[in-house]
Amino acid sequence: MASVWEDKASALQIPPGRFRLGDPRWLLELRHLPWPMDWAACFGRDGPLHVEIGFGDGIFLAALARRMPEANCVGVERALEPTRWALRRLRREGLENVRLVLGDAFAALALIFLPGSIAGLYINFPDPWPKARHHHRRLLTPAFLQLTAHRLQPGGTLLIATDDVDYALWIADVLRETPGLESALETPWVHALPDREPTRYERKALAAGRVCFYFVWRRNGPVPAPSLPRIMRPEEAMPHRIWKGTPELSRVIEALRGRLWQDGETIWRVKALYRPVAEEGLLIELLMAEGQWVEQVALRFQPHGSGVWILKPAEIGGIRPTEALKMGVRAVARAIEEATPEFQVLSSTI
């Protein structure tokens, strides 16, 4: 089996030696941020919050920040390479009122932005996933747009642009069904918006003669709170269980491989098992889905002193202390106990 570290590095496609995440001036990693984030403290001043999702090379975000010097502008992007381009642009232009957040848009909106806090939210040319079997990967689902509407302040604006006709019709349908939103225009969309800084994708689409669709919607009423993962109480310890005994790892692997557990809307699946090269034990990759919220976490099953073993969340990937994580650790612990009946529990928080 490949080493854990080799596997994770290639999955993240980190260009060796070319990218440093720790540029505290502009770049923040979602997994290290408090929930919610104190944006006024982060920018050193109060200001209307404008957020761009999937900022790509950052050209639109930079233009936004230049045009609205009074605004606190936050970009959220999950891919490293465009984040690197955008970071270079911000450095070059020396823009002070922008922060980049590296992480998933759904998690970012849910965790670091308070309800009713965003004045303007921009989603330019989200990946259209044109094949029907890939539609579930589209960002603009009913749950995502409800969360978006919930985070907008009353009267706040949501701007979406796409050049994909099918996605545009899908977006129009979902927007219409999202409570608390209405079009700020006479029509659900328009084909041109004056005074707009075209994004990289937009320039390509226009150069190829494709028609663009621009949605400008506004929060005009109450939005029911979206259903989000239940967060553990802050005083609770990260879930873990400690046993006395020595497991036969081949039996534990057999008991865990491909396992799936379900409790109502929540599903846990053992996605992969790794045996670290230089250490004893197992790294368990667990996929957790709570409705629309999907997370992949890593658990470690390893020695914890002589003749004692522990199961606990690993540091890799920034673990969120949700109830689902706790229940996932409990399900894995039970499977380990089935494979190792001689294990005696020494302590457990699950």
Ligand X SMILES: C[S@@+](CC[C@H](N)C(=O)[O-])C[C@H]1O[C@@H](n2cnc3c(N)ncnc32)[C@H](O)[C@@H]1O
Active site residues: 127
For residue 293, count other CB atoms closer than 10 A to its CB. 22
CB of 84 to ligand X, least distance (A): 12
Q: 314 and 301 in contact (C-beta within 8 Å)? A: no
Using CA atoms, how far apart are residues 183 and 188, in angstroms rounded to an integer? 6
Q: Which is nearer to ligand X, 31 or 200 (CB)?
A: 200
Which residues have CB under 8 Å from 66's CB, separation 6+? 93, 95
Give me the residue label for tokens 């009913």. Answer: 142
Q: Give the residue at shortest CB distance from ligand X.
A: 54
CB of 120 to ligand X, least distance (A): 15
CB of 56 to ligand X, least distance (A): 3
CB of 225 to ligand X, least distance (A): 21
Q: Which is nearer to ligand X, 139 or 286 (CB)?
A: 139
Using CA atoms, how far apart are residues 7 and 134, in angstroms rounded to an integer? 25
Query: Which of 60, 58, 8, 51 lies closest to 30, judged by CA?
Result: 51
Q: Which is nearer to ligand X, 41 or 192 (CB)?
A: 192
Q: Which is nearer to ligand X, 120 or 239 (CB)?
A: 120
CB of 88 to ligand X, least distance (A): 15
Query: Which of 120, 175, 178 lies closest to 151, judged by CA?
Result: 120
Using CA atoms, how far apart are residues 172 and 8, in angstroms rounded to an integer? 38
Q: Which is nearer to ligand X, 74 or 76 (CB)?
A: 76
| Contact set with ligand X (CB under 6 A) | 53-56, 76-79, 82, 104-105, 124-127, 139, 199-202
Instruction: Provide DSSP, 94-146.
Output: T-SSEEEEES-HHHHHHHHS-TT-EEEEEEES-----SGGGGGG-S--HHHHH
